[in-house]
Amino acid sequence: MSELDVGSRVELTVGPVAHGGHCVARHEGRVIFVRHALPDEVVIAEVTEGGEGSRFLRADAVQIIEASADRVAARCPVAGPGGCGGCDLQHVSLPAQRQWKATVIAEQLRRLAGIEREVIVEPLADDDGFTYRTRVDLAVDEEGVAGLRKHRSHDVLPVDGCPIAVPEISTEIARLTPKRHPDVGVISLAHTSTGETSVRERLRGWHTDGGGLLTEVVPTPNGQVRLTIAEDSFFQVHRDAPRAFVDAVLEAAQVRPGERVLDLYAGVGLFSVPLALAAGGDGQLVAVESDPAATGLLADNLADTPQAVALAGRVDDLFGVARPKPKGRRRGGGRGRTWVPARSPLMPPSADVVVLDPPRSGADRHVIGAVTALRPRRIVYVACDPAALGRDTGYLRDGGYEMGELRAFDAFPQTHHVECIATFERAAD
């Protein structure tokens, strides 16, 4: 058996796609995760991580011997092997990208939740998968050079634009990258639906305060919603995603006037405000967010909907469920949980509809248990990671809820990322 180390090159026949933007190949019984490849291609791959004793290797396809019919030329000069870590699918045609993502979602649901589901990834409004991104962070190295991070590295690659960014941001990148930026760690760029373009330099090692305020306007079935956000606020990066996701969540939730709705991981209120309007003056909307800056903006954005309240705090804390222990601190045979906080009296004992949009890691088994204990008639889960969706779908099934409609959106073209919105209802007793 030939040993492979970083820098080794080997000819591979590429296998199926896998979660994370790579394909699976095998060499003499060893698994190799190959980026910049497509299924059934024959490639020369260069090992980038791993070696003797590693469970698996990572590699880049640096030469294509037999190309797939779905292969296209990347539009960005730093999108290939050794380049930027952002656009890992620029070598794949747009229809094949969407099929790639659909395959990954279906595989994660099958493996983690025991569900067989045909998945279709829907496009959003963009220019063939380019010029859609409204937020970009430029890293700045010790020499003051600004650019994009190299894949799985702290190295900075200077660029003169970004083909997936909206033109206003590409123009700013071209203006900023020839200059030196001493003492700066990150330059955050944002372009809003109202035409504002923000450029914020964050000093190296300094805590961020959220930055200045921006305005986003989101069209909804109940009229336009104006949201105040901070320059550092989390907000969907595809210019069409806020509209599409609000429409999909409202359609999935089917909130009736007078109902109680719980919006978990609410951010600045992208879903909270439309959900509160759907519940009406006789209903109630409880929005939960842990980030202090986002919570203040959430309360401001809900100010015109008196039926809504913003709760500041972690979702698990407010539900009174045990936090998971931080990694590396499980000593003495512990079960992986730490202290159990008291349930907040402000959390409702029941809800008609629950919407949750957790971070990439998912909502956690104990939070899902607290949600199902509310006995909502509908749960709407917004997921940016298919593996987290698969795991939490399994927990929801354990709690008596079955997945109904599942919609997947190509909110991050040219990358392996995808957004899903799933509806769950109580299984028949």
Tell me the DSSP string of 346-381.
TS-S--SEEEE---TT---HHHHHHHHHT--SEEEE
- The angle formed by the CA atoms of residues 349, 351 and 354, to the nearest 5 degrees, is 125
Using one digit for the tens of pLDDT, what is the confidence trace for 65-96?
999 999 999 999 999 999 998 999 999 999 99
Q: Is the pLDDT of residue 18 over 90?
A: yes
Distance of CA 99 to the CA centre of its chain: 18
Helix (H, G, I), strand (E, B) or coil at 9: strand
For the chain, domain boundaries = 1-71, 213-228+237-426
How far is the C-alpha of 228 from the C-alpha of 362, rounded, in Å?
Answer: 26
Within this chain, domains 1-71 and 213-228+237-426 share the same CATH topology: no
Neighbours of 20 (CB within 10 A): 12
Mean pLDDT, the chain, rounded, equals 93
Greatest CA separation found in the chain? Answer: 71
Active site residues per annotation = 384
Q: Is the pLDDT of residue 160 over 90?
A: yes
Q: Percent of the chain beyond pLDDT 90? A: 86
Record: fold of 1-71: OB fold (Dihydrolipoamide Acetyltransferase, E2P) (2.40.50)
Q: Is the pLDDT of residue 331 over 60?
A: no
Residue 53's φ and ψ, nearest 5 degrees, are: 90, -10
Q: Is the pLDDT of residue 344 over 70?
A: yes
The pLDDT of residue 333: 44
**Mean pLDDT confidence for 49-77:** 94
- Six-digit token string for 56: 């698996």
Q: Quick one: pLDDT band at residue 326, thresholds 50, 70, 90?
A: low
Q: Quick one: pLDDT band at residue 337, thresholds 50, 70, 90?
A: low
Q: Quick one: pLDDT band at residue 332, thresholds 50, 70, 90?
A: very low
Q: Which CATH architecture describes the domain 213-228+237-426?
A: 3-Layer(aba) Sandwich (3.40)
